[in-house]
Chains A and B, each alone.
Chain A
């Protein structure tokens, strides 16, 4: 996330390696599973965020899960890479599920964080492009800006 005033490490782990996720110094983000029960287990752990808890086919989130996330101060991370990799109907289903998740997160009061999730330089995008993704998913432009700036900052302050 690149905040020089808050030197915080970031650790991203798969949902299968949750045991390795515990760290007091680093921000820990876990990639979601496509099962709702597994995702509920993940957000009960001392992690900071859950990455992409929506899949094109499976129902992997609900109100109960987001209420637990709100109580445990866990943010929902939405990455652009997931949309880049999908095609056609798969991408359309991702947008539908992403919109449902954002709406539910707004209603439940859970913070949503927008990132590129880039694995190489071609997947990097500028903030304006992430704001556009947020708008596509049903956020207002101001709320999308907030999820790019203030939410990462508050996460960094939490550990920094």
Chain B
């Protein structure tokens, strides 16, 4: 039993960068983003937004988060309101929003990051 395309929610992919002086692990950043969305939108809002972090690159501090199209602004606002991670001041900068992961990567993220991904795939 497949899931009919008409019932699928349209997704939006949000490209972001964490501005910080300290280094955080991938897990720490993902948990901070999820916690911020959960705190700001609540459990119901979190469920509605279908929020998730698709990937985060530790070295470039850039990543892509996912939400539904109806909750795109709510999720961006929730991400923007992260003042610190593990007590250290940070700022989360949103580059833009796209309808596909590949387009979000090619349009907004660092070219070095894309090259590195290609190298990993080639290996």
Chain A residues packing against B (C-beta within 8 Å):
80, 83-85, 88, 91, 120-126, 128-129, 131-133, 135-136, 141
Contacts and interface: CB of A to CB of B under 8 A. Distances in A.
Given A122-B89, A125-B91, A126-B94, A133 B19 contact: no
A129 B76 contact: yes
Given A84-B81, A122-B89, A122-B90, A132 B73 contact: yes
Contacts of B96: 128
Interface in B16-59: 19-20, 39-40
A150 B20 CA distance: 32
Contact of B80 (A80, A85, A121, A141): A80
The 4 A-B pairs at the shortest CB distance, nearest first, are namely A122-B91, A132-B76, A132-B77, A135-B73
Nearest to B72: A132
19 contacts: A80-B80, A80-B81, A83-B81, A84-B83, A85-B83, A91-B40, A120-B89, A124-B93, A126-B94, A128-B97, A129-B76, A129-B77, A129-B80, A133-B77, A133-B80, A135-B73, A135-B77, A136-B73, A136-B77
A26 to B, nearest CB: 28
Contacts of A120: 89
Given A122-B91, A125-B91, A126-B93, A131 B73 contact: yes
Contacts of A125: 80, 91, 93-94
A86 to B, nearest CB: 9
Report which residue of A132, A133, A135 has the largest number of chain B beta carbons within 10 angstroms of its beta carbon.
Answer: A132
Nearest to A124: B91
Contacts of B74: 132, 135-136
A121 B77 contact: no
Nearest to B79: A129
Contacts of B79: 129
A132 B83 contact: no
A125 B79 CA distance: 11
